[in-house]
Structure 1
Amino acid sequence: MPQPRQPFLHDLVCVLAAPTQVWSAPDGEIGSDGRAVGAQGVLHADVRVLSVASLRAAGSPLEHLATVPEGAATRFVAVSRQAAGTARAGDELVRFDRVREVTPGRLSERIEITSLTAHEVSFELTLRLGYDLAAVEQFKTGSTVEARRFARSTPSSHSSPFTWGDDDVVASLTADSATMAVTDDGLTAELTWPLSLAPRSRTALTWSIAITDRSGAVIPPSGTGLPISAALDRLAPGAGRDRRLRPWLGRSLLDLNSLRMATPDRPEDAFFAAGAPWYLTLFGRDSLWTARMVLPIDRAPAVGTLRTLARLAGTRVDPDSAQQPGKIMHELRRGQFTFAETSLPPLYYGTIDATPLWICLLHDLWRTGAADDVVRELLDPLVAALDWLLLYGDADGDGFCEYIDTSGHGLANQGWKDSTDSVRFSDGTIAEGPVALCEVQGYAYEAARAGADLLEVFGRPGAERYREWSDALALRFRDQFWCGEGEDRYPALALDGSKRRVDSLTSNIGHLLGTGLLDADEEVLVARRVAGDALDSGLGLRTMASTDGGYHPLSYHCGSVWPHDTAIVIAGLQRAGLRTYADGLVEGLLDAAALFGGRLPELWSGEGRPVPYAPSCRPQAWSAAAAVVVAQFLATR
């Protein structure tokens, strides 16, 4: 029996407005031969409410011509020779434009039909719909999905509405002027429109699905999104005559706004979901980095992210969820999220870096001029987060921040490279924990210094304690993390459970730049490495050097390119005063943006060509936010 495999996404089309997303083939079709296919479908939060949407004219599939993004909508253009009553070549066709638009909790599709014939045509247009209410983790792993029982449905042989759902999620279908037939099992519906078109005439029809969710962990936020026009006017001219930036930045800002969401208790506190389709929810690390990257154009996402994560911060020690007092969470789900050998509770805290990153974002927000009251309300969570660094972040008492999963069902790796094989020695051997990642020490150092500054400014005690701790961390890091000799030195990726240097050369070292952990000479050594051929692919920074034994350009974390990773290093080089080393990385992302049509995926191959990583999310929040980092870099030349 074939093993289940994660479905590919690279050639699918996504239209979304969190928490609702639609994934289809390039021709707009959802599913194939009346069956669900891979990740295709209408998803709301973590549930697929529609798994099939197949359009036929005169009993035959349409012939696809083009897929055209139109702002937040997408137009799918196709023709039919069968509907025109002729199979011969030429211009005797009927054209179909499916204009798909998604708003939170709603899919709307307008089908524009144009006769390009010299005679009247009559035919039936049918739309077959299927629904399974599958949980996202079921089809993410490639497992067989069996349609769920529906607690209520209202089949009708006439026009809509038609509803299906369970106690949590209900979908309601509306299709003006269509007749409907429902299969005996209630799992498939077919809409039919009988059409007659005069020569060279046109008509249009619509159908839509409205979704009600009673128990979702995330909801659409209130308020407005990023100021796209103002951001474009401010940042895009910084690239001079470079035509690659503005389309990339514009598309990225639209995508970021489509990824905005909130929790039901505080809809005004918006944050960015990590990415579609697998991670369309709150992820501590992703949401923090994205908010940090867009600070130059809007402070509101930082405020919403900080407040939301502070409300969810740990209050007790719970190995099952990896919760600890003061710790910032990793991810939030509707229910248990299970894949392979991993099973995560709905609120999971298995991340080593979200807590220091929360502190850094709060400090960055304050430095940009946020009102004192905004910062003051977060001082208690700040103290709790700082105490977590000193009391819980060091799993084995060696003075470094490290992680190890003690539950037996959590994430084995808990830095941003969280795949099971991401922490490797230069010969390719996988390291065993507890693992102390190099970049986490940089985040922790920066967080301790930043937190101390905030405590001092706002009249809270304890600043000196955290500064002393950070000074000691810097000395330990300098003594234990560096590999090589002289001008060839570089920081190890990590220390393993036996305190050996995990000596592979990785992009992680670039995250140390600008944190303050390194001295000026050490920052130059790191800058040379990230700008060198082994790490710079020409289309962004490789996650692992091409000279290492574990390198594979199409691996998830051991040689691929992640645009947010590249952007973090670009920003770090700028903060360190080493901008010239960033020029190649900036150029690489601009090229990649053009090659990927303005919407950068989660990651791609490290081979220096625009070869996609097939299951890569798209859009991904921090990938989109990389455009803001590059635009800001170019604007400050």
Structure 2
Amino acid sequence: MSDHEAADADTTATTTDSPTAGPPPRQPWLHQLNVCVNGNATALSSTGGDIEPGTAQGLYVDDVRVLSEATVRLDGEAPAFVAEGASGPRAEFVLSARNLGNPGPDPTVEIHRTRLLEDGAMVERVVLTSRAADTVRARLVLELAGDGAAIGSVKAGHVVHPEVAPQVVTAPDGDVLVTTFERHTTRTTFDPAPDALLVRGGRAVVEVDLVVEPGESAATTMRVEATRTSASVLDADPGRAAVAWDGVRVVADDPRLAPVVDHSMDDLRHLLLRDPDDRADVFAAAGTPWYLTLFGRDSIWAARMMLPFGTDLAAGTLRVLARRQGTRDDPRSAEAPGKIPHELRRTAYLDPESGLALPPVYYGTVDATALWVTLLAEAWQWGMPQDEVRALLPNLRAAVQWLTTTGQPDEDGLLKYLDTSGTGLANQGWKDSGDSIRWRDGHVADGPIALVEAQAYAIEALNGAGRLLRALGEEGADEAEKEAEGLRTRLSERYWVQTDAGRHLAIALDGHGAAVDGLASNMGHVLGTGVLTPAESDSVAAQLTGDELLDEFGVRTLGSGNGGFNPIGYHTGSIWTHDSAIVALGLAREGHRAESAAVATALVASAEAFDYRWPELYSGLPMMGRPSPYPASCRPQAWSAASAGALVTVALGLRADLPAGVLEVDPVVPPPFGALRVEGLRLGDATVTVSVDRDGHAEVTGAPEGVEVRLGGTSA
């Protein structure tokens, strides 16, 4: 996802402890962990359910690790792993106690471990079921600890133990375990009450004696509840109840599509957070565990891709960001009047290995402002109430002002960025790792950088602002569209390059004004923005779906023929779920139907390989027919999960303009997922169902009265 605060999966920085302190810290890998999330809390554990000490595992609340160890032993032995799974706030583990029950190869004592993240609490239940011939007697021992580690420190590879975390105080209060951190207190309760509860050196040992007759079960439940004891910049609580997605149902010939949508919406719903300044407004936290907070670009794209399922998330996201829109010039935070923030953290963010040091509210993004404007325009078209849209017009005008003045710092009239603080992000587009902007030969471009997609986003935003202002009878429409046309001309004149890959759009202009000629997915974000001529659109579509960029699991961030190509590099050849989804949307909007279907089906294939829970990114080079994980990838992640909405939009050919009284449904033919039925689509207050048969013929029910439904370009 994007902050990527240096994106060092294997940092080479030296430790500050001493020259002989051992190998440098490394960013933890997550791909083999079980992950569940609910709003401001996330739990990472081994596949057996244990939270193992000395790792990145733990229960995190508000970016603080309140539980760094939670292990289960039965008569001194860890249960053996059998199976596990997770979705949204739930995780389940099936284990076997091989040291108990009948001797022989067949397991006769089963452990079923379930975890649920409720608002403010983690509830864990361990059930021992015996199928042994005789009574099973066992001592269940839980070892628990919390270290209060900050998420930035853990991400940088620093492991903190209770013994060296002086802000952590753990003590028993009868049968309740109380742990006090710098900003939280946790109370851990047990049902039934434990037979023993001891605290030694910051670690709690809980003992429960179990007696299980043949065919019976015994259980113990632990509840860890965290309470804030001091305020932060973003004390946001879970917001899953604020969206009306319960009625969404997908049925398709392709059996993979429904679980993709179901799992993605479950994960996305549990990434939602409430704005503490107005709890009615929700936004999608970018991803867990590293980015479980507000990110301008990520949260906007997630809301945008989910517009066919209602405008609640979009409206909340727009208002949350508008409340924090820039009002002054501050080089350290990159704030400027009218600028939409990049990210909010509960406290200042420090990566001790990369040197990245960000204030709690950071504005280092070149594209979130344009994306905010476009989300407002599109939410209005999908039915966001006009009074809510009008209330945001002052923010829209401020954003347009930034796009056409401060965001274009030089005479060339292009949006560009350069970190002048020395502690912020070197790259401030979505590919924000330090090595992402590369020439065809592989060398990294010099700043300031003017990304091609940032110009396209701005053009789309200015044209969208013009349409919206004109429709509402407001001034400024002509000026916004004039600015858009000037920027479109500059993009057309300066960003096309000729390389051994053919004629294609450059990634960016560098600090010398030269077009950075790497072949990359950036050009896919230009599709559908109203920038390209038909011939230019054909060229971009051909490049994106050619052998260098498209493989069987998605669109590569960097073409395989570029110097520096690495299929598992963060932005240098990996596949990002949302990036491919945006490409599919753009191809569909430009009329490249077969190409959009190819990208959409590649994404579904990747989802199946990841048990229908898309990670942030992955490698498309197959390993026995499956993509390879990027080991440090967030999972779930908001704009990855929201890509399910993009798949539905592409397959159905959806486009709405409720103020104009039009709903377009123009399915891809032949349908990429076979016959398809999608219930729970929303257009304003109306709930809409769209069905497509195997020949691509569509039927729409539930459209609001007075709305013209256009099927395949003709009125129904």
Q: State which of 602, 619, 628 in structure 2 corresponds to 1:588.
A: 602
Structure 2 spans left out of the alignment, 5+ residues: 1-21, 654-666, 668-716
1:299 lines up with 2:299 in the alignment? no
Deviation at 1:464, TM superposition (A): 1.7
Task: Output one character per residue of 1:286-314: Cα deviation in whole Å (capped at 9) or x when no partner.
Answer: 00000000000121000000000000000
Q: State which of 608, 618, 621 in structure 2 corresponds to 1:607.
A: 621
The 3 A distance-change label for structure 1 pair 69 and 344 is closer
**In structure 2, what is the equivalent of residue 281 of structure 1?**
293
The 3 A distance-change label for structure 1 pair 407 and 433 is same
**In structure 1, what is the equivalent of residue 702 of structure 2?**
none
RMSD: 1.7
Structure 2: how far apart are the matches of 1:285 and 1:547?
A: 29
Structure 1: how far apart are the matches of 2:365 and 2:196?
A: 49
SS at match of 1:280: coil
**In structure 2, what is the equivalent of residue 181 of structure 1?**
197
Point out the more displaced range, 168-177 or 277-286: 168-177
Structure 1: how far apart are the matches of 2:338 and 2:642?
A: 27
Structure 2: how far apart are the matches of 1:433 and 1:572?
A: 28
1:94 lines up with 2:109 in the alignment? yes
Structure 1: how far apart are the matches of 2:88 and 2:314?
A: 25
Verify the 8 A CA contact 2:128 2:217 in the aligned structure 1: yes
Structure 2: how far apart are the matches of 1:576 and 1:49?
A: 49
**In structure 1, what is the equivalent of residue 639 of structure 2?**
622
Deviation at 1:346, TM superposition (A): 0.5
Structure 2: how far apart are the matches of 1:194 and 1:268?
A: 46
**In structure 2, what is the equivalent of residue 125 of structure 1?**
140
The 3 A distance-change label for structure 1 pair 447 and 396 is same
Point out the more displaced range, 75-84 or 112-121: 75-84
Structure 1: how far apart are the matches of 2:44 and 2:318?
A: 31
Verify the 8 A CA contact 2:239 2:272 in the aligned structure 1: no
Verify the 8 A CA contact 1:221 1:268 in the aligned structure 2: no
Deviation at 1:576, TM superposition (A): 1.2
Count of aligned pairs between the two proteins: 623
- The one-letter amino acid paired with 2:223 is S
**In structure 2, what is the equivalent of residue 337 of structure 1?**
349
- The one-letter amino acid paired with 1:368 is W
The 3 A distance-change label for structure 1 pair 146 and 596 is same
Deviation at 1:200, TM superposition (A): 2.2
- The one-letter amino acid paired with 1:301 is L
Deviation at 1:70, TM superposition (A): 6.8
Verify the 8 A CA contact 2:503 2:539 in the aligned structure 1: yes
The 3 A distance-change label for structure 1 pair 385 and 588 is same
- The one-letter amino acid paired with 1:598 is Y
SS at match of 1:490: strand
Structure 1: how far apart are the matches of 2:427 and 2:73?
A: 47
Point out the more displaced range, 575-584 or 243-252: 575-584
SS at match of 2:557: coil
Deviation at 1:146, TM superposition (A): 4.6
Structure 1 spans left out of the alignment, 5+ residues: none
Structure 2: how far apart are the matches of 1:521 and 1:224?
A: 46
Q: State which of 524, 527, 530 in structure 2 corresponds to 1:516.
A: 530
Q: State which of 572, 577, 583 in structure 1 corresponds to 2:586.
A: 572
The structure whose residues are more often strand, as a share, is: 2
Task: Output one character per residue of 1:434-489: Cα deviation in whole Å (capped at 9) or x when no partner.
Answer: 10000011000011111122222223222222211111111111111100289932
1:13 lines up with 2:66 in the alignment? no
Structure 2: how far apart are the matches of 1:487 and 1:566?
A: 20
1:62 lines up with 2:54 in the alignment? no
**In structure 2, what is the equivalent of residue 597 of structure 1?**
611
1:409 lines up with 2:423 in the alignment? yes
1:432 lines up with 2:446 in the alignment? yes
Structure 2: how far apart are the matches of 1:581 and 1:70?
A: 31
Structure 2: how far apart are the matches of 1:414 and 1:589?
A: 26
Structure 2: how far apart are the matches of 1:592 and 1:454?
A: 38
Verify the 8 A CA contact 1:181 1:190 in the aligned structure 2: yes
**In structure 2, what is the equivalent of residue 557 of structure 1?**
571
- The one-letter amino acid paired with 2:189 is T
Q: State which of 367, 383, 386 in structure 2 corresponds to 1:369.
A: 383
The 3 A distance-change label for structure 1 pair 597 and 18 is same
Structure 2: how far apart are the matches of 1:30 and 1:421?
A: 34
> With structure 1 as the length reference, what TM-score do the two structures score?
0.95
Structure 1: how far apart are the matches of 2:503 and 2:68?
A: 53
Point out the more displaced range, 143-152 or 364-373: 143-152
Structure 1: how far apart are the matches of 2:651 and 2:553?
A: 17
**In structure 2, what is the equivalent of residue 252 of structure 1?**
264
Point out the more displaced range, 218-227 or 371-380: 218-227
**In structure 1, what is the equivalent of residue 54 of structure 2?**
36
Task: Output one character per residue of 1:518-577: Cα deviation in whole Å (capped at 9) or x when no partner.
Answer: 112111110111111110011000001111112110100010000100001111111112
**In structure 2, what is the equivalent of residue 322 of structure 1?**
334
Task: Output one character per residue of 1:61-110: Cα deviation in whole Å (capped at 9) or x when no partner.
Answer: 111111144774221111113233x5x32446321111111122110011
> With structure 2 as the length reference, what TM-score do the two structures score?
0.85
Deviation at 1:264, TM superposition (A): 1.4
The 3 A distance-change label for structure 1 pair 146 and 392 is farther
The 3 A distance-change label for structure 1 pair 42 and 180 is farther
SS at match of 2:25: coil
Structure 2: how far apart are the matches of 1:561 and 1:579?
A: 21
Verify the 8 A CA contact 1:92 1:118 in the aligned structure 2: no
**In structure 1, what is the equivalent of residue 414 of structure 2?**
400
Q: State which of 482, 489, 493 in structure 1 corresponds to 2:496.
A: 482
